[in-house]
Amino acid sequence: MEWILVLPLLLTILISSVLVWKVHTGSAMPHLSTAFIAVLVIIAAWSFFEILFIHASTLGDKTLVDAFSYIPITLLPVALFHFASLYSGRGSIIGSRRSYLLFIIPFATIALAFTNGAHGLIWKEMSMTLTETGADVQRTYGTWF
């Protein structure tokens, strides 16, 4: 039954990979194409981590994969904002001196996800129950979430 969940994720990775190849080989606008490729790679990474989450068998493994999945989850909005600002011709919104500020919340969230056991700011509690369709994870989210 897992293939029903995994197939769309594999298709997402495949489509993202094909688009990365197409954009990389045929783009006349390198800055815009680099931003778009970043968005596609982040989407593919998110899908990859979701596949790993589906196949993880223990709560500890699922928690670790969940923490890793926060990398693309938190970076995607920044990448989309960067791409949209370049696409709309407003690339100066993200000046080179201020662009690092966009990464403060994503990096803080990633750090909190990996150190969640010490403070519970992302997940207060996680539990896993085995069902007929696989392992079901219940989460109680913390303050940072």
**What's the pLDDT tens digit per position in 3-12?**
788 899 999 9
Q: What is the mean pLDDT of residues 75-100?
A: 82
List the beta bridge partners of residue 131: 134
Look at residues 86, 88, 145 and name the one whose alpha carbon lies nearest to residue 113: 145
Q: Which of 84-88, 90-94, 96-100, 131-135 has the highest mean pLDDT?
A: 84-88
Averaged pLDDT of the chain: 87
Nearest to 34 by CA among 94, 95, 79: 79
Per-residue pLDDT at 95 = 66
pLDDT value, residue 99: 77
Domain boundaries, the chain: 2-107
